[in-house]
Chains A and B, each alone.
Chain A
Amino acid sequence: MTIDKSAPAAAAPATLAPAERAVQVLGGDLTEKALRQNLEGLPGVDAVGLEQRAAGLATRSIKTSSKAWALDRIIRLIDLTTLEGADTPGKVRSLVAKAVNPDPSDAATPRVAAVCVYGDKVPDAIEALGAAHGDPDDGLISVAAVATAFPSGRASLRVKLADTADAVAAGADEIDMVIDRGAFLAGRYGKVFDEIVAVKEACRRTDGSYASLKVILETGELNTYDNVRRASWLAILAGGDFIKTSTGKVQPAATLPVTLLMLEAVRDWHRLTGEKVGVKPAGGIRASKDAIRYLVTVAETVGEEWLQPHLFRFGASSLLNDVLLQRQKTITGHYSGPDYVTID
């Protein structure tokens, strides 16, 4: 469905797109006011306490056998990403080759969950993947495309929907959309909501199935933890399959406290409805030991069942090689070096 913005009701409360989850939680009378009340009624976040909890989780240390498992699992949860203006078919092929065969010296190395590219690079990625293209649960690799005028989101809804529909038509399995942070910060939650609902609809394939929708909050621009909690909740209500921290183009990108907070939102949603929503921290996670901290945080906040590609992803590029170096170390017992992993 689409939203007709040309004929807004002048006096009546703006009615929101009837997203199934929102209807479930807020009732059939889905108005901007009801949404606002719901979001503003969420409990506040004390930053100091949140950051302390995250720091506490970061001190967990895991045993060696668990570490080997964790490293492989991190690889399986990575969205290997290139999002540059300079991306070429060659660069995408090279990225895909790395995704399919991360460590040429060890065939037992698992593959990443997905490659993440701009929408116009989806055909290149699909072509390069060939038979390796598919569901990460089957050991295959998905194609994720950023859309909706990524990274700023500053375009008309029409453009955003076209951007999305193009990527889906080209075969993207997953869409990483950005929310309109400007609208969010201006308090226009209904606009953000309706856009997510509309983009979700644009993810619909001709066969009626949907590409998975990751909603990027760009937490670095939302700035406060209270905003992150509200935006998380809003994105879930609007139907996001994943909530994602960042585009990677804004600092700070993913942090452990922000990810913990988003995991808490997902946990609360699960408590409320029994439904599982995914979380994707993206940007700034470069070291294996950091990634392991995220795994620990996931496990202790929402449970280990979230540590699978349909519920948790890392948006990263350089992380993969650090994991591979650590992986080599756990196998050989020696420290490895950057010349022993491929640059892409």
Chain B
Amino acid sequence: MSHLTIPKTYKLYIGGAFPRSESGRSYEVVSGKGAFLANAAKASRKDARDAVVAARAAVSGWSGATAYNRGQVLYRVAELLDGRRAQFVDEISSAEGVSASAAGAQVDEAVDTWVWYAGWCDKFAQVAGAGNPVAGPYFNLSVPEPTGVVATVAPQGAKGGSLLGIVRTIAPALVAGNTVVAIADEARPLSAISLGEVLATSDVPGGVVNILTGSPAEIAPWLASHADVNALDLTGAGGLDWVELEVSGADTLKRIVRPEPGIPDRALGRILGFVETKTVWHTKALI
């Protein structure tokens, strides 16, 4: 006897919960071959606003956690992602219309990406920081600190990137202790929401990562102009009017990463794109 499948309802991931869009809107997601897969929630500007509120609320806890702890949490994401490998392979192969082995390779890359960035948590500050030999009786240390709330546009339609694209944009921002509002690949958002489920069941605190599905062209401008967003990762925004987004972000002098085709490499530079260098001076004296 065959078992009738229970299709999953794909919703947004905001503040550790999975709400539908407050607008009640959804849109049809189809497979690489054009078949109906699911109705994804179509996030509105208010969902984006809620996501920023959740992300801001999560900053102090996440950035205040020890680097060792953040590393363990990100590693935990890799563990859980790997544990749900089969599900992601399914989703990716249907979304992208690729073979199971190609999809598996993508999942493996995504897992490895989490592991790689997890390892950076308690090391990047040693590479990017500095003890500065100033000419005077001062202790002088520069350390990188998180920028705050990072809004990212995941790669849109990048080959082999429906999962890996969003992982490569979210993970590096988390390393330093930033929190993220991510806009998923519009046409292939399902594995992004499944990633949200992984995050929700790993030890990532609610609000640290928020995932919006829907139209980047509609949502991104609200994030770009939002005064409580500190940085804008436009990696996947090459197909949007990204210049306008950059101009809009300039109003509150957001840190901006410009678009890049395809899937970004994993790189220390992506961690450092969302940090601030803080330099602390203190007098030194024996007497």
Contact = CB atoms under 8 A, between A and B. Distances in A.
Any A–B CB pair closer than 8 Å: yes
A295 B285 CA distance: 26
Nearest to B136: A48
Contacts of A47: 283, 285-287
Given A48-B137, A48-B138, A224 B284 contact: no
17 contacts: A46-B283, A46-B285, A47-B283, A47-B285, A47-B286, A47-B287, A48-B136, A48-B137, A48-B138, A48-B283, A48-B284, A48-B285, A49-B283, A223-B287, A224-B286, A224-B287, A225-B287
Contacts of B287: 47, 223-225
B287 to A, nearest CB: 5
Interface string A45-63: 0111100000000000000
Nearest to A227: B287
Interface centre among B283, B284, B285, B287 (most CB of A within 10 A): B287
Given A47-B286, A224-B287, A225-B287, 13 more contacts: A46-B283, A46-B285, A47-B283, A47-B287, A48-B136, A48-B137, A48-B138, A48-B283, A48-B284, A48-B285, A49-B283, A223-B287, A224-B286
A285 to B, nearest CB: 20
Query: 8 closest pairs, A vs B, by CB?
Result: A47-B285, A48-B283, A224-B287, A48-B137, A47-B287, A48-B285, A46-B283, A225-B287
Nearest to A219: B287
Please classify how large the interface on chain B is, using the bins under 10, 10 to 19, 20 to 34, 35 or more.
under 10
Contacts, number: 17
Chain A interface mostly: helix
Contacts of B285: 46-48
Contacts of B286: 47, 224
Nearest to A49: B283
Nearest to B284: A48
A49 B136 CA distance: 12
Contacts of B137: 48
A48 B284 CA distance: 7
Interface residues of A, number: 7
A105 B149 CA distance: 80
A225 B138 CA distance: 18
Interface in B125-153: 136-138
A46 B137 CA distance: 12
A49 B282 CA distance: 11
Interface string A199-241: 0000000000000000000000001110000000000000000
Nearest to B138: A48
Nearest to A225: B287
A45 to B, nearest CB: 9
B138 to A, nearest CB: 7
Contacts of B138: 48
Interface in A23-71: 46-49
B122 to A, nearest CB: 32
A223 B286 CA distance: 9
Nearest to B137: A48
A225 B283 CA distance: 14
Nearest to A46: B283
Contacts of A49: 283
B209 to A, nearest CB: 44
A48 B138 CA distance: 9
B211 to A, nearest CB: 50
A224 B286 CA distance: 8
Contacts of A48: 136-138, 283-285
Nearest to A224: B287
Interface in B231-287: 283-287
Contacts of A46: 283, 285
A48 B136 CA distance: 9
A102 B138 CA distance: 46
Contacts of A224: 286-287
B281 to A, nearest CB: 10
B234 to A, nearest CB: 45
A79 to B, nearest CB: 26
Contacts of A225: 287
A135 B283 CA distance: 45
Interface in A252-269: none
Interface centre among A48, A49, A224 (most CB of B within 10 A): A48
Nearest to A258: B287
Nearest to A223: B287
